[in-house]
Amino acid sequence: MNLTWISHKFRSDSSKDQASGGLNAVERVKVGSLPVKSLGKSKSLGIGHAGLQQKICEKSGLIADRQLDLLELKCRRPVEHLLAGEYRSVFKGRGIEFEDVRPYTPGDDVRSMDWKVTARTGVPHVKRYVEEREQMFYLMVDLSASTLSDAEKAKRRTVAEFCGLLTLSALSNNDRVGLIMFTDRVELVVPASKGRQQGMRILDALSGFEPKGSSTRLDVALDTFSHLARKRSVGFVISDFLAENYEQELAAAGFRHDVIAVNLFEAIELEAPRSGMARIRDSETGKLDVVDFQAAQSRSRLAKIRELTLERGVDLINLQSGGDCVAVLSEFFKSRQRMAADEAGG
C-alpha cells in the first residue's frame, strides 16, 4: 500500500513574525501588487514572466493561508465555549491500563494479586498498571468525486468544518489526533499527534488537499486505520458511503475500536422526486444511467446506512451538506451522555 505522508511548512511563532504583526513572508505580499495587464505587457511594469509566476504563487499561498485562518477561527470559538466540555464528558480515556505482572513484594496491595499467574508459577505475583488518560483519535475523510461533486464546494466546506471542530475538541483535551484521507486509495496520512501545530496541519489538509483518485474504497481506509491504531482508539469515518464491500472491515474496526460513521448527504436526498425517470451521471465513473425515482422510494440510502451501522455496532451521525456542524456534534455528544447514564442506571 502506498501512503503519502504529509509534509507542510506552517507559520512560524518566532519573535520576528510577531514583530511584523504576526504575518509571514507570504502574508506580507500586497494583494494589489500583481499587474492587471496581460503577460505580454508585464515587462513594461518591470516584472518578467518568472517574477510574475512567482507572485501569482505567492498570492495563491496567501489566499490558502487566509482560508486556513478563517477555518480555525470558525471552529475554535464553539470548541472553547461549548464542545470541549461535552467532548471531555464523552471521551474520558480509560484511567489505568494493565501493563504486566511482577513478583509480589511486602507492602503490595493484595487486591492487585494475579492469582492465575501465582497458581501457575507457584510464586506470588501482582499486576502492574500504568495511567492511560489520553486517547488516540483518527479522522477518516472520503475525498472521492461523489463527496466533492457539488459546484459550490458546500460538501468540502462542511467536512472541513465538522472535522475541524472534532480536531480542536480532541486537542483541547490533550488527545492525539490523526488524519487519513482516501478515495480508492489512501491519499494522505497525518500520523496521530497533539499540539497546535498538529491542529493546523490537519486543518490545512482538510481545506486544501487535492486527491488523485475519484472512486471510493472504504475498506482500504478502515484497514489503514486498524493498522495505525495499535490500541483502542476513536475513529470517525466521514463519507457518503457510496461504496461496496466494506461491511466486514467496518464490523471488525467497530468491534476493536469506538467507530462513528458520519454520513454526508444533500438536502435533495430528503426531497427526491416521487416519480419519473431521470438521466444522471455517476460523478466517480462518469457513466450515464437512467433512474426510476418511483422504484427507489421503497428504501432510501439513509435507511440502508442506518440499518448497516446498527447491525455492525457502529454509531451513526447524519451530516447534511451546508448544515449546522456545531448543533450536529453537540447533539451527538448529548446522546452519548444519555446512553452512558442509562447504562449506569442513572
Query: Do 177 and 108 share a structural domain?
Result: no
pLDDT tens readout for residues 9-54: 344 344 444 444 443 333 333 333 333 333 344 444 444 555 545 5
Q: Is pLDDT at 300 greater than 60 in this prediction?
A: yes
Q: What is the mean pLDDT of the chain?
A: 76
Tell whether 114 and 161 lie within a shared domain. Answer: no
- Of the given ranges (188-197, 207-216, 268-277, 309-318), which has the lowest mean pLDDT? 268-277
Residue 225's domain comprises 136-343
Q: Is residue 238 part of a domain?
A: yes
* 242 and 140, same domain (yes or no): yes
Task: Quote the CA–CA distance of 270 and 260 in Å, as a whole number.
Answer: 22
Of the candidates 331, 335, 333, the residue with the CA atom closest to the CA atom of residue 87: 333
Residues 236 and 321 in one domain: yes
pLDDT band at 163, cuts 50/70/90?
very high
CATH of the domain at 261: 3.40.50.410
Q: What is the pLDDT of residues 308-325, one digit of tens each?
A: 999 998 999 999 999 999
**Which pLDDT score is estimated for 237?**
97
- State yes or no: pLDDT of 73 exceeds 90: no
Same domain, 121 and 150: no
Residues 120 and 235 in one domain: no
Whether 343 has a pLDDT exceeding 70, the answer reads no
Q: Give pLDDT, residue 75.
A: 75
186 and 310 together in one domain: yes
196 with 327, same domain: the answer is: yes
| Count of structural domains within the chain | 2
Residue 314 vs residues 154, 182, 309, 311, 331: alpha-carbon distances, Å: 26, 20, 5, 8, 17
Instruction: Find cell 475538541 and name the residue.
Output: 169
Q: Which residue has the higher pLDDT, 130 or 166?
A: 166
Taking a C-beta distance cutoff of 8 angstroms, is the pair 235, 258 a contact?
Answer: yes
